[in-house]
């Protein structure tokens, strides 16, 4: 995989994520973690090779099928991509609206989820007035609000404190228990180590499988 005429960002990569699995993607900055996630959420197509998603070759997916596949994936973007002119509640509800649900069907669920991520008192607030950690939690709420089959998160705990990071991680684990396949790109080695989940480590564009070593409890 490369951008334009640039060097290969990812090469010789081959892996599959079993339904219901939980993986971390680690690696130094520029190793290709975000690109790997983009390949999965259909924001990029591989220059060579094949990415198969829900039984479809992503490079050959038709314009009609692409949105349907995307609705089955929840993404926490590294740059969050919150809509500045919409309230916290409206931002969180975006995937449900796109999915064609009626407000009466999801109002209570969105409110409950926002409360759960600690934004219960900020539902009316506009993103510009939210703190960095609050924005991140909002982005996470939006990604999981429609119980996606795959959850991709790019540095989801980058701007939150340790306690909130653990709380968010528990949310991901809970979703994973309910059947969601989770793939998280992170630099948070402590979180990865505590999780005990398998790791896809990227370095110089190549992939290495690792297993988290749980730190010894003092």
Partner 1 sequence: MSEAFDVGRWRPAPFLPERESRDVSLIFVVAVLCFLACLTAMGVIAANRAAAGWTGQLTGEATVIVRPVGGETPDAAAARAAEALAGVTGVSEARALEPAKAYDLIRPWLGDVSDLADLPVPRLVAVTLDPKHPATARALGQALKTQDVDAVVDDHSIWIKDIRRAGDVVRWLGAGVFALIAGAAAAVIAFATRAGLAARRDVVEVLHLAGAEDGYIARLFQVRFARLAGLAGLVGAAGAGLVGAVLRLLGGGEGLTPALPLAWSDLLAVVPCPLLAALVAAVAAQITAIRLIRDMR
Tell me 7's DSSP state: -
Tell me 87's DSSP state: -
115 φ, ψ to 5°? -65, -40
41 φ, ψ to 5°? -90, 20
Residues near partner 1 (CB under 8 A) = 41, 43, 63-64, 67-72, 75, 77, 81, 83-87, 89-90, 93-95, 97-99, 103, 107-108, 110-111, 123-124
Least Å distance between CB 87 and partner 1? 7
Nearer to partner 1, 12 or 84 (CB): 84
Least Å distance between CB 204 and partner 1? 28
Nearer to partner 1, 107 or 162 (CB): 107
Nearer to partner 1, 23 or 122 (CB): 122
> Which spans in the chain are helix H?
33-40, 65-70, 88-98, 103-116, 132-144, 162-177, 189-195
DSSP secondary structure, 21-72, as one string? -EEEEE-STTSSHHHHHHHHTTS---SSS--EETTEEGGG--TTHHHHHHTT
Nearer to partner 1, 95 or 205 (CB): 95
Nearer to partner 1, 98 or 131 (CB): 98
Least Å distance between CB 42 and partner 1? 8
Per the document, the length of the chain is 218
For 15-110, where are the E strands, in sequence order?
22-26, 52-53, 56-57, 73-76
Nearer to partner 1, 53 or 192 (CB): 53
Least Å distance between CB 46 and partner 1? 15
Least Å distance between CB 39 and partner 1? 13
Secondary element (H or E) of residue 207: strand 206-211
C-beta separation of 15 from 184 below 8 A: no
Least Å distance between CB 107 and partner 1? 5
Widest Cα–Cα separation across the chain: 54
């Amino acid at each position: 995989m490369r951008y334009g005429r640039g060097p290969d960002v990812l090469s010789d990569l081959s892996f599959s994520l079993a339904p219901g699995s939980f993986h971390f993607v680690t690696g130094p900055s520029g190793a290709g973690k975000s690109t790997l996630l983009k390949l999965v959420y259909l924001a990029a197509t591989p220059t060579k090779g094949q990415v198969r998603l829900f039984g479809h070759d992503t490079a050959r997916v038709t314009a009609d099928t692409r949105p349907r596949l995307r609705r089955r994936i929840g993404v926490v973007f590294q740059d969050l991509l919150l809509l500045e002119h919409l309230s916290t509640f409206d931002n969180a509800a975006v995937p449900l609206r796109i999915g064609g649900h009626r407000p009466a069907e999801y109002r209570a669920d969105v409110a409950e989820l926002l409360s759960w991520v600690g934004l219960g008192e900020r539902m009316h607030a506009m993103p510009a007035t939210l703190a960095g950690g609050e924005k991140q939690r909002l982005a996470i709420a939006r990604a999981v609000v429609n119980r996606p089959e795959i959850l991709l998160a790019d540095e989801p705990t980058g701007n939150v404190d340790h306690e909130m990071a653990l709380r968010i991680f528990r949310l991901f684990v809970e979703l994973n228990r309910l059947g969601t396949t989770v793939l998280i790109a992170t630099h948070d080695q402590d979180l990865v180590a505590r999780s005990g989940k398998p790791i896809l480590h990227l370095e110089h564009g190549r992939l290495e499988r690792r297993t988290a070593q749980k730190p010894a409890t003092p």
